[in-house]
Amino acid sequence: MVAAQSEETTLRPSDLADLTGPSRSATTRLVDRLERSGLVERRACASDRRVTFVVLTPRGEEVFKEAGRVHLRGIDEHVGSHLTSDELVQISALLGKLADRVRGDALSTLTPTNAP
């Protein structure tokens, strides 16, 4: 999940929907399923009881990390193994630039009023 990739590991469900693309109702259903699976939990905001955050559980963090390892192995197998060392340096620089841009856009939606 996006929260796991940010410095903060909590997000409001509405912010999660805005960051990932599905509708807010689809995100709510997804969070419900993830919560039933023990991968996330909902926590009330200490300063505003109307706000609920979605938080990865320790099990959710482990599943996310393992999925990341599988994902990276797939990238290496299907992309990285077909590139020269110079091409890997170039693509790494380009993807880093894109990641910085995406990370900046994603984190810009978190303000002190809605950040945990």
The CATH number for 60's domain is 1.10.10.10
What is the domain range of residue 10?
2-78
Examine residue 70 and state whether it is found in any structural domain, yes or no.
yes
Residue range 88-111, pLDDT digits in tens: 999 889 988 888 777 665 545 544
What is residue 19's predicted lDDT score, i.e. its pLDDT? 77
Examine residue 49 and state whether it is found in any structural domain, yes or no.
yes
Examine residue 96 and state whether it is found in any structural domain, yes or no.
no
pLDDT band at 1, cuts 50/70/90?
A: very low
Long-range contacts of 42-51 (CB under 8 A, 24+ apart): 43/10, 45/116, 51/12, 51/114
Residue range 22-72, pLDDT digits in tens: 788 888 899 999 999 999 999 888 888 888 889 999 999 999 999 999 999
Examine residue 98 and state whether it is found in any structural domain, yes or no.
no
Q: Specify the number of domains making up the chain.
A: 1
**Among the listed residues 63, 47, 44, 64, the one whose alpha carbon sits nearest the alpha carbon of residue 4:** 64
pLDDT at 113 over 70: no
